[in-house]
Chain A
Amino acid sequence: MSRLWFVLMSSMLLTQALAQTKSATPIDIRFEEITSKTGIDFLHTDGGSGKHYIIETICSGLAIFDYDGDGLMDIYFLNGAYHEGKKPDSHPTNRLYRNMGDWRFVDVTELAGVGDASHSLGATVGDFDNDGDEDLYVSNYGPKVFYRNNGDGTFTTVEDAPGTVEDAPGKAANRVGAGVAFLDIDADGDLDLYVANYIKFSYDKDVNRLIFGIPAAPGPKDYEPDNHQLFRNNGDGSFTDISMESGIGLSPGAGMGIVSLDFDRDGDTDLFVCNDSAENFLWENDGTGKFTEIALIAGVAYDYAGLRQASMGADCADIDHDGFLDIVSTNFQDEIPNVYHNSEGKFFDDLGVAYGLGVATRSVTWGVALSDFDNDSFVDLFLASGHLIDTVGLLDNTVQFATRNFLLRNIDGKRFMDVSATAGSGLKIEKASRALGCEDLDQDGDLDIVILNLNSTPDILRNDTAAKDNHWVELRLIGLSCNRDAVGSQVKIQTKKGLQIQEVHRGRGYQSHYGNDLHFGLGNAEEIDFIEVHWHGAAKEVYRNVSIDRKSTLIQGTSPKLRDN
């Protein structure tokens, strides 16, 4: 009897120990590279002039969005254009690939009418006219392009759209566009537009840099930084340039990636802007669409050592579940990507070192995504990496032009751990990556990744993480009194894993757009206690009994319980 009791007890203890081990051992995040199976045949070019124009080295972004409303996320790749000094054999254009499901994509560029042949640099997506479909804005070297979605799988180029007129040839010098974002600056229910510009470049102002006789890329400080633009949506399909009166146009900066966020949770949408080799911007909104630049005071202008950074791309998320959105920005070689930790909306501390991002300092990092790839409830970090020009190995033989990207797992909100080496074939690719985006492309409950590579084919990474015990929920927000995309709305989810917060963005990462729906990993929580949506410029609503492991649509005003602001 006692022997049987001993065996039973031992067995129970062993089971408990194994269970503890299982819960303590993180699941390997795995991404498999499946591009060739998808039918995506996009080939990026920087223009190939061979002159290392600065606008060639920095391009390009991408956008992932559901252009045809079929519930599947489609992919829009930006492309370069042939430049002065190069006689083109053919004209590269941006390409739109429709997601047919089951990892099949079809090039619908011509059909949709979005094959802009400019040297494209940034893109964002948003329902600017609140008609229920996603419109597309493309930032170029030269006039920008604004595509209105006709709702039938086609787009119409919007004439006289913001940034497409004042920069048109003959009216002003070509501007080097960068990151763009839709946001509702004054909570009037329609989406306004922030357009970052980079530097004042023209072919005759090209700077050739040599380092010890080896061709090197010119930097932003070789040129004059440009001013950024803000356009107010008039609600009738037109926009008004309010760059100066809003304060945005008063400070030039070599802008790149941008992300809007309500960092101080005062209910209006602020904006973080990466400035290359200069102080970043943090535009604080007074709620009426007037902005004050506070990056110096807020602690996001420099890195932890007070040094300027190259600041390529940016994303934000609540990394440590403290209820405030933190910011990550990517940087140049020998600079540590920044983790600007938000101290209750008062100021930020750059904790990139403490969070372990020193692992990425041998590369130039561009695209960035703070997303929960293993659904453990903590956002992980993906960094797209690659150097500026292909001669870099001659300047420093410990760095390469084509490098692998970085996947870092969030360890309980306290630090990131580089798990790239064990993350499957998707993290073994060595290219000069630029933009990236994350969406659940196959609707299997985890986030897949799309990467745009300079002068190369893109990479589609399927998330094969075997996180069966981890749950998730994906939320699509539809605003009624607030803008239809609910941009600027914040969502809190309470589970036994703690409180998570996310915000709806339209424009993030490296001059890109992704994350149309909010994807929350729930860990092993099998139910959601409640979801609180703070609709932008409107009341909070609380939703209960939302099912896990599925996508849900939350429509403003439909929750059983409204909460006061």
Chain B
Amino acid sequence: MRQITVLSGKGGTGKTTITASFAVLAKRAVVADCDVDAPDLHMLLHPEIIETQEFKSSKLAVIDEARCIKCGLCREKCKFNAITEKFTIDSFSCEGCGVCTIVCPTNAITLTKRVSGHAYISKTKYGFMSHAMLSPSEANSGKLVTLVRQNAKILSERGDCNFIIIDGPPGIGCPVIASVTGVDAGLVVTEPTVSGIHDLKRALQLLKYFNVRSFVCINTYDINKDNTEKIESFCKENDIDVIGKVPFNPVVTEAMVNGKTIIEYSPRSDVAKEIEGMWKKLSALILEGSSSCLPKKT
């Protein structure tokens, strides 16, 4: 079984459009949506939920008013300014570290577990899907990503799948790191804009840092051909495969509005053909390269 993460650094470059298409094209794959705080993949793949799991990872301090003597020690020691002047907990700021519980002289503060999201195991027309929804404004998205990936792994064994295709979140922080560690390949989807190039470089650095084999896809490559050339020469210098160049086509948005992947909505479009070619190349390259042959991180 091989794992591929589609990531981008910059948001809105087309990760989900490409992941959903791969999910349709792959014959035996589990698809995992690791963008847990703004997941969109379900709007194209329409999963039917088989199982829901509560995600309880973060904790929250709770002050027992009756025991609190308002001495202020907790406020003084809290590094997150989570204790208000009225000695209540600001749940947006509290990181559940527990420092207040050990400094409180009257034991008025305890840590409680909070449900900070849900993980789902689902079925789509094309196979199993693992996804989740972090409750709005919650933290710990990295841990929820890890849960989504664990579920995907179990599903891939159950369904005898040869691929797990992961839709990653934007950025390069904790949920992205949790989405790329230990995968066989990272496909960075970029666009030929100044910001797209800047963020591509940081995403590639991240993959290198975690020793993940990198591939690049230039989406809407024809909106600025000079910048596309810059990306291609950068990738060439760094020995990174540009595996696909997807043209701009309004049909992509049309497909999205109709809740379909581009492969289903317009299979003969230039976009669908390019993505199909990309999947063929990418899946073959990943299957032939044994993950154990990759250089180990030093």
> Is A bound to B?
no
